[in-house]
Structure formats: structure tokens, C-alpha cells
Amino acid sequence: MINRGLWRPLLISLLCVISFLGPLAVPVQAVTDSRAIYVLNRLSFGPRPGDLEHIQAVGVEGYIKEQLSPKSLQPPSNLKRKLQQLKILKLTPIQVIQRFEPQRQQQQRPAAQKAARQKARRPLKQAEQARIIQAIASPRQLEEVMVNFWFNHFNVSAEKGRVKFWIGDYERNAIRPYALGSFRDLLGATAKHPAMLFYLDNWRNTAPNSPGARGRFQGLNENYARELLELHTLGVNGGYTQADIIATAELLTGWSIPAPRQMAQHPTGFYFNAKRHDPRPKTVLGTKITGQGIVAGEQLLDLLASHPATARQISYELAQYFVADQPPEALVKRLTQRYLKTDGDIRAVLDTLFHSPEFWDDKYKGRKYKTPYEYVLSATRAQGRDLDFNTQQMLGMFAQLGMPLYRCRTPDGYPNTQTEWLNPEAVTRRVSLAMTLTRNRGSQNRPTDLPQLVNTLGDQISSPTQTVVDASPERLRAALLLGSPDFMYR
């Protein structure tokens, strides 16, 4: 938890800066329901106005069931319209490359070069907009939380070459449809997506003595195989050896992206090149894989997705995200058993998690420190912005807090534990951003509705914080609430 000795001087500084803003006002009473607020903070990116009342109407159990079945929740019409305007996201990966990747002849003329660079940014910009507006405004909040969770698990970075053109499709078609579905399907979708194939170099992975081994496709590339075992499935202590990594890489030779002359026939951006594949049987984790061609790779993914080490690793990560940085071992074991019994059904594992005694244990409530991404989203949602927020401003905030969207360079993705994000400088920046968020009133120039904000946050604001806030000028109160230590945890 944040040391209040650290937080109080920051608030005093803020009070000194804008103490002229107005007289003290009468304290506002919050609606209280600790279970409802808790489940909102864990299954969503924080409460929006009306969320607490909705849970009070359907019950906590009703809310959990809704979130585990997101298709029952219809997105609002304004969100649908916003998404429909992002037309690039509806193009296939190959269409995006053909329409937006700068051509060599354009790079010879400065004006054309500048125009090409601006055009090339549009696919990533629309992907960023889609992610943010859905994270804030979609009623399918658990789905949004899991999209972020799985994107970090299967991270790719827009900082690497062509990946920036494909990130929107990667999230839309390889992550989102499977966020609450089968882990095997999710694993397969990411393995075949050009964003992952390019980011971890498997598109160049070639059997050294195969007929297609020439030019830049001359040898085995272990990058994706290594991360597939260490990060995507078994975990670093999953019991695999260097020989398993090599065999995995050999099984995935030829899993690539189409050359320009092949693009029309492979619009998804995945192309299996049999001429660069190693067809020999392999042994991975003690299991012999006899299939040939693309079938061998599918059998490998079947083996990895159903392996007990994968079940434990995924269960550990879910328990760490939803319960505690150091998750209780008994919970991890139960989730592992559920994973194995359901063949990696993510929804079933989450259902077990949300109904576990550990999830509801008071000692874990309000102890997960928000990542920068979660903090900015929750502050925006709490103010009840109706899609009138500044997307570019939010992207800048993510970057200021050290978590630029889609730009984590390493394959392990962004962490979600307190030790990675809590330090005095970061807290100071969050308090400063709370001021910015409450000053920025959106396109409709609406001031932050303080009574509504207090009601939305419910009883997650502690009595000491409330005392400080009540003693401050009214126009400062929203910033103090969103910059308080209580709000920095979920």
C-alpha cells in the first residue's frame, strides 16, 4: 500500500497550488456496497456512473454471470458508431499492408515520404482508438479486462517493423474472440497471426536442408519456439529443455507470412511454406509427434495447451491478476484442476476463481496496485465520460506513466504487480494527471460532477481520505479523490 506519509505532502502541494479556487463545501455522501465496488474494481476497469446501481439491482452474482457471458450485454449505439468509423480495422492484414505500407518510390521524394509516413500511422492509430473506447465504454468489461490480459500474455510490439500495421487485426481477430473461450483456440490464433510470426521471427524459420532454404530463409530460428514454451504455455519452470526448444522450432518450420506474389491467396497473412518445413518426426516433452506439414505444428499446440505445466502457469497468472501479486497456492491448484478438467476453458477457470474463498478474502481486497493503463482508464470511467474523452491525451498519459499502449518491446508484456509500478515519482505523476483529467472537461465542456463521482466510487474511499477531501476546496475534490491512495488500488 502507498505510505500515507508520501501521499499527504503531495495533496498539500496541490492544495497550495489551487487553494484560491473556492470555499469549502458540504461533504457528499457516497452509496456504499463493498462487495459491489470490489467486484467492479476486479472484473472491470473500475466503476462508471450507474454501475453500482446496476449491481444493486441484479446482485453481485448476477453481474458476474453477465460478465462471463458478454454476448448478453449489448454495446451502446454510440460505441457501435465509433467502432464502425474505424474502417481500417475491417481490412485483412494483407489489405492493410498493400494500402498503407510506404512504397520504395515514395521514399525518394520528401513530400511523398512525409505523406506516406502519415498514412502509415493510420492503422495503429485506429487500433489505439478502438482499444481505448471499448475499454472505457463497453458494458462487456470483463471481456475488455481479458483482452488486455491476453494481449500482454501474447505480447507483440508496434515498435517492430510491420507489426504496427497488424496490431489492430491481431487484437480484433486473434485475441478478442477467444478472450473468454478456449485457450487452445487462443494459442492457435496468435501462433498463426502475421503480427506474432513477424514479431518473434518465425516467418523466417526454415529447415536448413529444405528445398526452400535460401537467401534470408536459410536456417532454424528458435525465437518464437523459446517464447512459446517459456511465456505462452509451460512457464519458465515448465520442465522443458533446450532439445525441446529445438524440436519445437523444427515442427514450426514453414509457418510464415506470404510473399508479395502469394498475398492474394492468403489474405489473413498466414502462409504455410511446405518447401521450408522439416517433415521428420520429433519428440517434445517426451511425446513423439508424427504428423507432417502443418499438422505437426497443430499437434504441437495441442500438446502444449493441454500440458499440466501450462494449466498451472495460466492459473497462476490469472490468480495473480485477479487476487494477489503472490497468489495463494491452494487457489492456483484448484484453478489448475479446473483448467485440466475443462480442456482449458477460460470462462470455466474464471468462474471457479470468482467463486473462490480467496477471491473474496478481505486481506486481498483493495490490495492490487493499478497499472498505469488501469489507473488512467478507471479515472476516466469514474468521471462518466460518454466517449467525449481525448484519446490522444490518454495515450500520452500511458506513455508518461511508463506504459505506452502496444509498445512494450519485450515478449513478456507489461507486468501487473505493485513492485513494478509503485515508486515516489510514479505517484507524483499520477496525482498530477488526476489534476489534468479533472480539468479536461471533454468535447462537451462538462465539469466533473462531484456528487456523481463520489457516488460512483462508493465506499472504496477510506475515512481518512474522505476527511482530507472534505476539508479541501470543492473544485479540488475530484482531483484529490482520483489522486488518493485508495483510488490507486483495485
User: How is 414-461 classified by DSSP, letter by letter?
Assistant: ---SHHHH--HHHHHHHHHHHHHHHH--TTTTPPP-HHHHHHHHGGGS
What does the pLDDT read at residue 234?
98
Structure confidence by residue, pLDDT tens digits, 109-160:
788 888 888 999 999 999 999 999 999 999 999 999 999 999 999 999 999 9
Instruction: Categorize the per-residue pLDDT at 15 as very low, low, confident or very high, splitting at 50, 70 and 90.
Output: very low
Give residues with Cβ within 8 angstroms of 1, minimum separation 6.
367, 485, 489
Which amino acid is it at 306?
Answer: S
What does the pLDDT read at residue 458?
87
CA–CA gap between residue 172 and residue 342 (Å, rounded): 25
Instruction: Categorize the per-residue pLDDT at 24 as very low, low, confident or very high, splitting at 50, 70 and 90.
Output: very low
Instruction: Answer whether 144's CB lies under 8 Å from 45's CB.
Output: yes
> What average pLDDT does this structure show over 21-31?
42
CA–CA gap between residue 340 and residue 361 (Å, rounded): 25
Is residue 481's pLDDT more than 50?
A: yes
Which amino acid is it at 481?
Answer: L
Q: Identify the three-state secondary structure at position 3.
A: coil
72: which 3 cell numbers? 448478453
Give residues with Cβ within 8 angstroms of 171, minimum separation 6.
127, 130, 131, 147, 151
What does the pLDDT read at residue 385?
80
Instruction: Categorize the per-residue pLDDT at 7 as very low, low, confident or very high, splitting at 50, 70 and 90.
Output: low
> What average pLDDT does this structure show over 10-38?
54
What does the pLDDT read at residue 352?
98
Q: Identify the three-state secondary structure at position 246.
A: helix
What does the pLDDT read at residue 442?
57
> What average pLDDT does this structure show over 301-329?
98
Q: Find residue 24's DSSP bridge partners.
A: 473
CA–CA gap between residue 401 and residue 76 (Å, rounded): 30
Is residue 200's pLDDT more than 60?
A: yes
Is residue 376's pLDDT more than 80?
A: yes
266: which 3 cell numbers? 492468403
CA distances from 198 to 62, 101, 121, 162, 165 (A): 42, 15, 18, 7, 11
Instruction: Categorize the per-residue pLDDT at 309 as very low, low, confident or very high, splitting at 50, 70 and 90.
Output: very high
CA distances from 404 to 196, 336, 394, 413 (A): 19, 32, 10, 11
Instruction: Answer whether 163's CB lies under 8 Å from 156's CB.
Output: yes
> What average pLDDT does this structure show over 405-414?
98
Instruction: Answer whether 480's CB lies under 8 Å from 454's CB.
Output: no
CA–CA gap between residue 67 and residue 229 (Å, rounded): 30
Percent of the chain at pLDDT > 90 equals 80
Instruction: Categorize the per-residue pLDDT at 292 as very low, low, confident or very high, splitting at 50, 70 and 90.
Output: confident
> What average pLDDT does this structure show over 39-67?
96
Percent of the chain at pLDDT > 70 equals 91
Instruction: Categorize the per-residue pLDDT at 165 as very low, low, confident or very high, splitting at 50, 70 and 90.
Output: very high
CA–CA gap between residue 490 and residue 486 (Å, rounded): 8
What does the pLDDT read at residue 27?
46
Which of 365, 369, 362, 366 minimizes the C-alpha distance to 417? 369
CA–CA gap between residue 96 and residue 101 (Å, rounded): 7
**Measured in whole angstroms, how far is the alpha carbon of residue 351 from the centre of its chain?**
20
| Mean pLDDT rounded to a whole number for the chain | 91
What does the pLDDT read at residue 31?
46
> What average pLDDT does this structure show over 372-397?
91
Instruction: Please report the DSSP string for 371-417 in residue order.
Output: PHHHHHHHHHHHTT--S-S-HHHHHHHHHHTT--TT---STT----S
Is residue 426's pLDDT more than 60?
A: yes
Which of 404, 413, 417, 409 minimizes the C-alpha distance to 376? 404
Structure confidence by residue, pLDDT tens digits, 173-193:
999 999 999 999 999 999 999
Is residue 13's pLDDT more than 70?
A: no
> What average pLDDT does this structure show over 194-218?
95
Instruction: Answer whether 405's CB lies under 8 Å from 395's CB.
Output: yes
What does the pLDDT read at residue 46?
97
Which amino acid is it at 98?
Answer: Q
Q: Identify the three-state secondary structure at position 339.
A: helix
What does the pLDDT read at residue 193?
98
Structure confidence by residue, pLDDT tens digits, 341-371:
999 999 999 999 999 999 999 999 999 999 9
448: which 3 cell numbers? 466533473
CA–CA gap between residue 166 and residue 195 (Å, rounded): 6
CA–CA gap between residue 448 and residue 399 (Å, rounded): 24
Is residue 20's pLDDT more than 80?
A: no
